[in-house]
Structure 1
Amino acid sequence: MIRTIRRSAAFAVAGTLALAAAGCSAPADDAATAADEGSWPRTIEHELGETTIEAQPENIVSTSITLTGTLLAIDAPLTASAATTPDGELTDDQGFFAQWADVADERGVGVLYPGLELDLEAVIAAAPDLIVISTTGADATAEAYDQLSEIAPVVAVNYGDKSWQDVADILGEATGLEDEADAAVASYDAEVAEVADTIEVPEGEANAIVYYGTENDVAFAKLGGPHADLLEALGFTIADAPDELDTAPTERQDFAFVSIENAVATLTGETVFLVNGDDDTKADLLDEALFANAPAVESGAVHPLGATSFRIDYYSALDVVHTIAADFGA
C-alpha cells in the first residue's frame, strides 16, 4: 500500500526540509571537498531510465531492504531504510535483516517505514539526496518511481537477475563509491577463493531449493541467479531450474517455482542446498515420502544454508560461504 500526497504538498514540504537541512549543514569547505570527489554531476542508467545526480550523495534512503545490505557493504551514507515485519530469526526487532542489522545500528541507520508499505511522507521527511529502489521482489516500489523522483534522484535496481557484486558496481557508480565497491567485492572474492581451495566438493550436480513443505511449490535456483553463482564460485555444479515447469506468474531470473508433483522428478542433484533452510527444514525434507527416491534424500546429502540465505547481499553471502566451509571442509 502507498500513502499518497498531493504533488504541491510534496514540493512544499521538501522545500521546507531542504532549507532546514541547509541551516545545519557542514562547513562550506567540507562541502566543496565532497563535491570535488569524482565527477559530478553524473547520469546513471538504471532499470527505469536515466537519472542525473548533481553532487555526490550524502543522505541516501533505501526503499528496498534487500539493496540496503549492499549499500552498507560499500559504506554508502545511508541514513534510513525500509524495514520488513520483525521476525525473530530473520530480522532484528526493527525489521532489519539479521545479517547486517548490527552494522546498520552502528552506523545510525533508521527505519524509513515499517512493513515494506511505502510511505511517501516518510521519504520526504528524510530529505534524501538519493533514493535507491528495487523493481523486483516484495520490497519493489517501481510503481511509485515518478512520485519518488519528485522528492530526490532515484536509482532503480533489479536485484533478481544480478549478483550482489553487480549491484555493488551499480550503486558504487551512483554514489561515487566505486573504490569501496571494488574493495568489498575483492575482499569477498578472496574469501570465496580461500574456501574453494579448502573444501571437498562432492561429485555430481547440486540443486539449491527453497522448501516449505508439500503444500507449497518448491523454488529451484536458476543458473545465472545469485544463489547458483555463489555456489558455482565455490566449485559446485548447479543443475539448472526447469523454466517450462515454472508456475510463477512472471518470470524471475533467480528462482523457478515448481509444483510439488513436478518437483519430485526435478530434484535430481546428488547434493541439495536448502536456501532459507535450517536443520528442521532438512528433517522435514528427509522425512517426506514423496522425495524418498531423490538422490540427495536417499544419501542424506542435504545442507541447510541458514535463515538469512534467501536475500543475497555481501553479508548473507559470507554467511553462506562460512556455512559451506564448515560443512565441506577437508
Structure 2
Amino acid sequence: MKWGTKPASMATATLLLCLTLLLSACSSGATPANGSAAGSNTPAAQSLNAANQEAGTTAGSSNAGSLASATKSYTDSKGEVTIPVNPERIIDLTGSAIGNLLVLGVKPIAAADDSLKNPFHEGQLDNIVNIGVEPNAEAILKLDPDLILTFDYIEESQYEQLAQIAPVVRLKYGAGSPQDLLLEFGKITGKEDAAQQWIEEWNAKIAGVKPQIAEVVGDKTVSILQPYAKGIYAWGNKGGRGGEILYGDLGLKAPEIIQTTLIDGEGFGGDLSLELLPEYAGDYIFTSNWGWDDGDANIVYDSNVWKSLPAVKNNRVYFIDEKGSYYNDPISLEAQLEFIVESFLGSGK
C-alpha cells in the first residue's frame, strides 16, 4: 500500500494506536502542528519557543516578531497551513514527487518507498531514509521532521495523526501541470526562483524540438498503452508516462476516445479489453509493461490484435522505461523528453 491509499481497517487502527501512544509518551499535551506555529516536537517549534521566551512573549502573541521570521503561511489543497520558512527536515510521503525537491537542491531526510525507486534519480538519493510502503508512526516520530509533504488523497485519520508530529502540506494530486506542481514546491521550500528558472529552461527546450516533431508526426495520432494481466491501460495527459509532454508540451494529437475521456475528461487511465485496443491505438504508440502485477505483457504484444495495429506494422512503437515512466517530476521529464525526441527524430519517422 502506498502512502495516502486507503488501508484495511485493522492497519489504520494499529497506526492510530501506535502513534497515539508514542505522542502521549513523548509530548503529553502537544498542540497540533497544522493551524498553529508548529508541532511541539519539531525543531521549528523548539526554536520558536526559545525565541519567544527570550522576547518575553508566547508563540500565540500577536507581536511575536520571531514567529513571523520563523514561519510562513501556505495554502495547500485543504486550506491554510503554518510551515517553517526554511524547512530543513522534510519527510516526503508523495511517493512520486520527490524529484521536485531534488531539482531545487533540497534533499528530504526521509521518503516513502516509491519515491526512492526512480532510476532517473540515481545518485541523488543517498542518505535519505526509506520510510517504507506502510505508514510507520514510530519511524516518522523519531526522525523529528519539521515538515511532512503528501498528496491530498491521504486519509483524514492519517493526516490528523501526522499533523501532531509536524506541519503537513497536502498537495492536490493531478491538478495543473508538472510545472505548476514544481512552483508549489518552490513556494514551500523558499526556492521559487530556482523553480521558475527550471521552467524557463524547459520551455526553451520544448520550443527547440516542437516544430521538428510536428513536422514528422503531422496530424497523426499518438497513444500511451500499458498491457497488464487482465487487459490494457490507455493514458492521457495526466499521471506521467510521457503524457504531459506528448499531449501537453508538444501538443500532439490523441485518438478521439483518449482525447474525450482522458484529456478533456477527468480520467487518468482507461482500462480496456484487448478487443477495444484498435479504438485506443494511435498511429504512434509509446508502451511498456509497467509491472503493476505479475501479468505477462507478451499476451498483448504477441496477440493478433496487437500485431494488426498500423503503428506496429509501420514500426512506430516505442518501448519506454518501465520503472521511471510514471514519474512526472522535472528530472524525470527531462529523461522522458530525451527519449521522445530520439523516438520521433532519431528514427526519422
Give the TM-score normalised by the residue count of structure 1. Answer: 0.75
Deviations 1:181-236 (A, max 9, x none): 11222222222333334445323111112223xx4232222246654331132352
Q: Confirm or deny: 8 A CA contact 2:19 2:161 kept in the other structure.
A: no
Q: 2:286 aligns with which of 264, 273, 276?
A: 273
Q: Confirm or deny: 8 A CA contact 2:91 2:108 kept in the other structure.
A: yes
Count of aligned pairs between the two proteins: 293
Q: 1:318 aligns with which of 334, 340, 344?
A: 334
Q: 2:92 aligns with which of 56, 62, 67?
A: 62
Alignment partner of 1:184 is 2:198: yes
Give the partner amino acid of 1:209: L
Instruction: Please list, as runs of the form range in 1=range in 2, the aligned pairs for 1:76-91 lying within 5 A after superposition.
Output: 76-84=106-114
Shift of 1:101: 3.1
Which residue pairs with 2:22 in the alignment? 9
Q: 2:174 aligns with which of 160, 163, 171?
A: 160
Which residue pairs with 2:269 in the alignment? 255
More displaced stretch, 44-53 vs 304-313: 44-53
Q: Partner of 2:326: helix, strand, or coil?
A: coil
Q: Partner of 1:168: helix, strand, or coil?
A: helix
Shift of 1:287: 2.9
Which residue pairs with 1:121 in the alignment? 138
Q: C-alpha distance in 2, partners of 1:322/1:17? A: 44
Cα 1:6–1:100 change in 2 (3 A) is closer
Which residue pairs with 1:327 in the alignment? 343
Q: C-alpha distance in 2, partners of 1:285/1:256? A: 16
Instruction: Please list, as runs of the form range in 1=range in 2, the aligned pairs for 1:207-218 lying within 5 A after superposition.
Output: 207-212=223-228, 215-218=229-232
Cα 1:12–1:185 change in 2 (3 A) is farther
Q: C-alpha distance in 2, partners of 1:171/1:60? A: 12
Alignment partner of 1:98 is 2:119: yes
Cα 1:142–1:273 change in 2 (3 A) is farther
Q: Confirm or deny: 8 A CA contact 1:282 1:304 kept in the other structure.
A: no
Cα 1:142–1:6 change in 2 (3 A) is closer
Shift of 1:41: 3.5
Cα 1:152–1:238 change in 2 (3 A) is same
Q: C-alpha distance in 2, partners of 1:147/1:51? A: 15
Structure 2 residue runs without a partner (length 5+): 1-10, 31-39, 48-64
Instruction: Please list, as runs of the form range in 1=range in 2, the aligned pairs for 1:42-53 lying within 5 A after superposition.
Output: 42-53=72-83
Cα 1:19–1:221 change in 2 (3 A) is closer
Shift of 1:328: 1.9
Q: Partner of 1:218: helix, strand, or coil?
A: strand
Q: C-alpha distance in 1, partners of 2:328/2:80? A: 26
Shift of 1:294: 2.5
Q: Confirm or deny: 8 A CA contact 1:70 1:164 kept in the other structure.
A: no
Q: C-alpha distance in 1, partners of 2:84/2:43? A: 17
Give the partner amino acid of 2:104: I
Cα 1:197–1:265 change in 2 (3 A) is closer
Shift of 1:171: 1.6
Q: C-alpha distance in 2, partners of 1:21/1:49? A: 21
Deviations 1:263-311 (A, max 9, x none): 34332x1111115669xx9976553212343321232211122121122
More displaced stretch, 166-175 vs 293-302: 293-302
Which residue pairs with 1:31 in the alignment? none
Q: Confirm or deny: 8 A CA contact 1:63 1:141 kept in the other structure.
A: no
Identity of aligned residues (%): 24
Q: C-alpha distance in 1, partners of 2:208/2:24? A: 52
Which residue pairs with 2:234 in the alignment? 220
Q: Confirm or deny: 8 A CA contact 1:129 1:152 kept in the other structure.
A: yes
Q: 1:305 aligns with which of 301, 314, 320?
A: 320
Shift of 1:98: 1.4
Q: C-alpha distance in 2, partners of 1:134/1:201? A: 38
Shift of 1:318: 1.2
Q: Confirm or deny: 8 A CA contact 2:97 2:329 kept in the other structure.
A: yes
Q: Confirm or deny: 8 A CA contact 2:239 2:328 kept in the other structure.
A: no
Give the partner amino acid of 1:75: G
Structure 1 residue runs without a partner (length 5+): 24-34, 85-90
Shift of 1:152: 0.8
Shift of 1:319: 1.3
Q: Which has the larger radius of gyration?
A: 2
